[in-house]
């Protein structure tokens, strides 16, 4: 059998925690929604204005983040019925992810973005440090 006639092997993706996480938060608007929660924007109109996400896409992302247990809906008005969104414990655990992305962006893209997270009397300039949970050795 020549190489042209050999059946092609079906690729089997590597099992991976990164791939699993990206299924939930790997789309641009999803992480920007989570970012807005940390900035204190919890209502649809605030999130839409701050991210620039199209309304239909934002609705879908909010729904998927609620279904994934990253956000929860809380009513803030009965007439008309309106909800706002808040991070769950699972959602708040994404803080180091956003900080690592921000750290990388400041170091590698440096597009002059001056809008940074507030931290005490200055702005956050994150430095990530990762260690092995088993032995405590710093990972590089």
- Looking at the structure, do residues 40 and 56 belong to the same domain, yes or no? yes
- Looking at the structure, do residues 74 and 112 belong to the same domain, yes or no? no
Is residue 7 included in any domain, yes or no? no
Taking only the tens place, the pLDDT of each residue in 86-95 is 999 999 999 9
Distance (Å, rounded) from C-alpha 48 to C-alpha 31? 13
Is residue 36 included in any domain, yes or no? yes
Is residue 47 included in any domain, yes or no? yes
Mean pLDDT estimate for the chain: 88
Contact of 95 with 87, CB cutoff 8 Å: no
Taking only the tens place, the pLDDT of each residue in 55-92 is 999 999 999 999 999 999 999 999 999 999 999 999 99
- Looking at the structure, do residues 129 and 64 belong to the same domain, yes or no? no
- Indicate the number of domains in the chain: 2
Q: What is the pLDDT of residue 106?
A: 81
- Looking at the structure, do residues 85 and 23 belong to the same domain, yes or no? yes
Taking only the tens place, the pLDDT of each residue in 99-140 is 888 888 888 887 666 667 777 888 777 788 889 999 999 988
Range of 55's domain? 13-93
- Looking at the structure, do residues 20 and 76 belong to the same domain, yes or no? yes
DSSP characters for 11-73? P-PPP-HHHHHHHHH-SHHHHHHHHHHHTT--SHHHHHHHH---HHHHHHHHHHHHHTTSEEE
Identify the CA nearest to 57 among candidates 78, 29, 36, 85.
29
- Looking at the structure, do residues 114 and 137 belong to the same domain, yes or no? yes
Contact of 31 with 39, CB cutoff 8 Å: no
Cβ neighbours around 33 below 10 Å, total:
27
The CATH number of whichever domain residue 69 belongs to comes to 1.10.10.10
């Amino acid at each position: 059998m020549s190489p042209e006639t050999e059946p092609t092997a079906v690729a089997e993706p590597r099992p991976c925690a990164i791939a699993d996480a990206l299924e939930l938060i790997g789309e641009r608007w999803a992480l920007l929604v989570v970012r807005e929660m940390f900035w204190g924007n919890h209502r649809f109109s605030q999130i839409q204005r701050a991210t620039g996400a199209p309304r239909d896409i934002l609705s879908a992302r909010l729904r998927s983040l609620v279904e994934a247990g990253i956000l929860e809906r809380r009513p803030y008005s009965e007439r008309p019925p309106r909800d706002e969104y808040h991070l769950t414990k699972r959602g708040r655990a994404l803080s180091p992810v956003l900080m690592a992305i921000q750290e990388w962006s400041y170091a590698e893209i440096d597009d002059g973005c001056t809008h940074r997270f507030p931290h005490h009397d200055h702005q956050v300039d994150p430095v990530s440090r990762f260690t092995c949970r088993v032995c405590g050795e710093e990972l590089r």
